[in-house]
Structure 1
Amino acid sequence: MRSLTGSIALAAALSVSPVAAQQGGAPDPAPQRMKVVTTFTVLADMARQVAGDAAEVVSITKPGSEIHGYQPTPRDFVRAEGADLILRNGMNLEIWFEQFLANLGDLPSVTLTEGITPIAVAQGAYEGNPNPHAWIGLDTAMAYIDNIATAFAEHDPANAAQYRANAAAYQQQIRDAISPIRDRIAALPESRRWLVSCEGAFSYLARDFGLEELYLWPMNADRMGTPQQIRGVIDGVRQNDIPTVFCESTVNTAPARQIARETGVHYGGELYVDSLSDAGGPVPSYLDLLRVTAETIAAGLEEGNSR
């Protein structure tokens, strides 16, 4: 699957040991794994769960990175070198990635939102464009995993059965973890099931959890947390008797906290969407990201409704 140069380097690394030379033969080289490169950490973890030990998966961006306006570094190109397959989100999320991919050369790439019906951004400069954060929805997550398994099976058919089995087990694991939290939210009064966030990144989750949505800005961009945006959400919180507001982990939470103070509602905490944490952080895996975000929303709404 790798280049000729990579194969030569591998052969050199696996030079004949003295014992093998004495026995008149070289050891069989270990099977070469497919190398998969993803655009950000969430996709990388999903891909690793499907791959198991049959493929190597590398993320271009690091834990905690803000992916919308990411600027690739020379080290990113080195990390992606020798890739057999590229996984990307699509829906205009990784605008920076087009030039990056062009610099890598002619590599196969798969868009993981293929087949997903997008939710349109409802306001602002991006109005009418697809909301790219489809991985945050429980139902759409299943489509990502199916697309990963299909891509892996097509590019590495020898391990196709393993990929499909891993994908099915992973999907069930996600359902088992998140469905009880969704049931808790469904038990709250319908009129007060609102998800108020900084970025409008949770539209797919809001749809799957039966939540109305209100946010400060539609997509992370240059203008975030303006007085006009804050005033609009304050008015929405008061008009709809919304009990709780949240913000996401990769942006300044001050505007959301200001809204909570001025309206007297509960600040429910930070939600995770764009990036995983490092191994010692709160969301080292995609399943953790979904679980922690869903649990934070459920607990925050329950607290707000109890006041």
Structure 2
Amino acid sequence: MTSRRLLLSAAALSALTALSAAPASAETLKVVASFTVLADVVREVGGDHVHVTSLVGPNGDPHEFEPSPADAKNLKAAEVTFVSGEGLEGWMDRLITASGYKGKPVTVSEGISTRTMEEDGKTITDPHVWNSPVNVKVWVANIEKALSSADPADATVFKANAEKYTRKLDELNAYAHSKFDTIADDRRKVLTSHDAFGYFGREYKVSFLAPLGLSTESEASAADVAKLIEQIKGEHVKAYFFENSNDPRLVKQVAKATGAEPGGELYVESLSDAKGPAPTYEKMFRYNVDQLAAAMAKSS
């Protein structure tokens, strides 16, 4: 009996020693991201130390998003909030006011070399920075910094995750170049729903023509559509794509008038659900590259 007690006491002491020697682990951070693409990248950097809620859901349009009371509740409870910025989340200020959220969202696109374009006589910054993995590397650095500030105890984990994911982004960039660099310049032209592939086009020398501007909230005039049709005919654009988060009717109308052939669906500013082809940023980017490269090779 005595020896059994001694054994039990030794086991208990050993367990207590192990617990005291274990490194202190911070609580899981409650994090909110504005839309699914950003939420996925935050999860990659945060790993098991973050619980991420995306305000805009899968296949949702971040331009036309209408927040719900549940979104306000999630935002108010967040310890860290991430937005892409550059005018993408026009609804965020209203949601912050309505929710009573006291923090300041982290703008992950800060530091990216942005592009501008003319729209309705105004110079506008293109917010769709994530369509180049080179830009997402800046996201990763900003996310790591914000998470480490909120949870210093796990900073080394965030740093390791960020470095690992940055290497993956370099691989994605190299993959896209391997697909497009062999295609003749005059074949790197496609028709899409709205002008969301500017950074992709800049990185891989692909021309994207679109009836809508930077935001899906804008409307294309009859004159703009007619001008686009003539441009597509003149430049011999052979393929068109519609987007998972947008109404495809207008791009199909333009395609019918020009004879462009369907290339499929692209995931531009929203991931698919778990069963779709683009449930993560990595899979979304590879899927888009494969779809576009296949259409261009076919037109060649």
1:225 Cα deviation after fit: 5.1
1:241 aligned to which of 221, 236, 253: 236
Q: Distance in 1 between matches of 2:207 and 2:216?
A: 23
Q: 2:238 aligned with 1:253, yes or no?
A: no
Contact 1:124 1:217 in 2 (8 A): no
Contact 1:268 1:301 in 2 (8 A): no
In structure 1, runs of 5+ residues without a counterpart are 1-26
Q: Distance in 1 between matches of 2:124 and 2:175?
A: 32
Change (3 A) 1:222 1:112: closer
Runs of 4+ in 1 over 4 A off after TM superposition: 27-31
Q: Distance in 2 between matches of 1:204 and 1:284?
A: 21
In our comparison, the structure showing a higher alpha carbon Rg is: 2
SS at match of 2:116: coil
The residue that corresponds to 1:24 in the other structure is: none
More divergent stretch after superposition (91-100 vs 215-224): 215-224
Q: 2:112 aligned with 1:116, yes or no?
A: yes
2:160 aligned to which of 157, 165, 168: 165
Q: 2:265 aligned with 1:270, yes or no?
A: yes
In structure 2, runs of 5+ residues without a counterpart are 1-18
The residue that corresponds to 2:54 in the other structure is: 59
Trace 1:98-247 onto structure 2 (pairs within 5 A): 98-102=93-97, 103-124=99-120, 127-224=122-219, 226-247=221-242
SS at match of 1:99: helix
Q: Distance in 2 between matches of 1:31 and 1:131?
A: 37
1:221-255 CA distance string (max 9 Å, x none): 44445433332221111111222222222112222
More divergent stretch after superposition (220-229 vs 273-282): 220-229
Contact 1:63 1:276 in 2 (8 A): yes
- What is the root-mean-square deviation of aligned Cα atoms in Å? 2.1
TM-score, normalization by structure 1: 0.84
Q: Which amino acid aligns with 2:289?
A: A
1:183-231 CA distance string (max 9 Å, x none): 2211111122123211101100110111123211113344445433332
Q: Distance in 1 between matches of 2:273 and 2:33?
A: 17
The residue that corresponds to 1:281 in the other structure is: 276
Q: Distance in 2 between matches of 1:93 and 1:222?
A: 11
Q: Distance in 2 between matches of 1:295 and 1:124?
A: 33
SS at match of 2:146: helix
The residue that corresponds to 2:5 in the other structure is: none
TM-score, normalization by structure 2: 0.86
The residue that corresponds to 1:11 in the other structure is: none
Aligned length: 278
Q: Which amino acid aligns with 1:116?
A: I
Percentage of pairs with the same residue: 27
The residue that corresponds to 1:43 in the other structure is: 38
The residue that corresponds to 1:72 in the other structure is: 67
SS at match of 1:213: strand
1:69 Cα deviation after fit: 2.2
SS at match of 2:38: helix
